[in-house]
Amino acid sequence: MTPTIGLLSLILLAPQDPAGLVEKLKSKDADEIDNATVDLLKAGGTAIRPLRDAAAASQDADFRKRANGVADRIEIRLAAAGLAKNWGDRWYSVYISAVHVGWFQVKIEEKEGKLAVFEHLKLQLNKDVVFEIKATLTCEPNEYLTPTGISLDLASPENSAVATAQLKDGRLVVKTGGEVKAHKVRPNMTVDLLVFPLVTLLPKTEGFDVEILALIKPKLPVSAVIKFDKEQSVDHGGKKVKTKRFVVADGESSDKYYYVDGEGQLLRVEMTSDDNREVEIVLSDEKKAKDIDTKD
């Protein structure tokens, strides 16, 4: 290798200055913004402070959103690396109109550099009506918990289904029975059941854009925004616990509220059902979660 070629290689391989990359986010050229975003994500934690400082000092609303958005993504990526260890196996009690009708289990493990997520939701709406969904997902440990593989077993009064899906090259390939369909999806796609662990990774974001694929009532992804709403104390285990409240809004259904404590535990989820009943999902343990109130 000649000295000239060697020097050029070092220049090309040298990490770029995060502050300089942040300046490129102010560009009017979409390709330059995209390239700078990619490089800032590669820079990782070293880019967070320059991004936050530049956003705070700017009067340009678009730039502030862009810079804070990239910083959010980096922070979530860093937190996602420890998700399996911090989450483990969690159980939640499900209440509809204050009646304990079911439970929700979320178990996360790390396997070969990816996240293996098992989720089991069971609702005993009365002695004859049962809704149950089992989902096994393989996810990237990134800012969207991007699913690369999904296995779904759904049983409800309306219908039952067994389906699998794979995410490849920006397309979601779904197999149900003997039918195969491919759908183009955006890179920020996640799954409704994965929002539960995802919110535990979020900083106090002003708005984190995602596309959410619904598994509970299966349908194609819809655009949604997750944002920090406020700090709020909630009752948990007989104590008042300070939490960060995040709201998920998709413009189609009612907003959903997620309460995360200072240790990164999701303590509670609140939402309204399609028939306007209040739904609460509360962190519990297996014994309490399965001790449901069955009426009728």
Indicate if the pLDDT at residue 10 is higher than 50: no
180, 173 Cβ separation under 8 angstroms = yes
- The fraction of the chain above a pLDDT of 90, given in percent, is 80
Q: What is the pLDDT of residue 3?
A: 53
What whole-number distance in Å separates Cα of residue 232 and Cα of residue 179?
47
Whether the predicted model's global pTM rises above the 0.75 cut: yes
Q: What is the pLDDT of residue 13?
A: 42
Q: What is the pLDDT of residue 111?
A: 95
Q: What is the pLDDT of residue 210?
A: 97
Q: What is the pLDDT of residue 252?
A: 87
Indicate if the pLDDT at residue 2 is higher than 70: no
What whole-number distance in Å separates Cα of residue 171 and Cα of residue 166?
8
Indicate if the pLDDT at residue 14 is higher than 80: no
Confidence of residue 159 (pLDDT cuts 50, 70, 90): confident
Confidence of residue 127 (pLDDT cuts 50, 70, 90): confident
Structure tokens of 100?
Answer: 């304990």
Q: What is the pLDDT of residue 32?
A: 94
Mean pLDDT on 266-284: 95
Mean pLDDT comparison of 6-20, 93-107, 120-134, 156-170, highest-scoring range: 93-107
The model's pLDDT over 68-84, given as tens digits with 9 standing for 90+, comes to 999 999 999 999 999 99
Indicate if the pLDDT at residue 12 is higher than 70: no
Indicate if the pLDDT at residue 224 is higher than 70: yes
Indicate if the pLDDT at residue 11 is higher than 50: no
226, 248 Cβ separation under 8 angstroms = yes
- Per-domain residue ranges of the chain: 14-80, 83-290
Mean pLDDT of the chain: 91
Confidence of residue 165 (pLDDT cuts 50, 70, 90): very high
What whole-number distance in Å separates Cα of residue 130 and Cα of residue 135?
17
Indicate if the pLDDT at residue 204 is higher than 70: yes
Q: Helix (H, G, I), strand (E, B), or coil: what is residue 147?
A: strand
Q: What is the pLDDT of residue 15?
A: 53
Q: What is the pLDDT of residue 255?
A: 96
CA distances from 115 to 2, 9, 109 (A): 45, 36, 6
Q: What is the pLDDT of residue 17?
A: 83
Q: What is the pLDDT of residue 261?
A: 97
CA 107, distance to chain mean position in Å, is 15
Q: What is the pLDDT of residue 296?
A: 54
Indicate if the pLDDT at residue 9 is higher than 50: no
39, 16 Cβ separation under 8 angstroms = yes
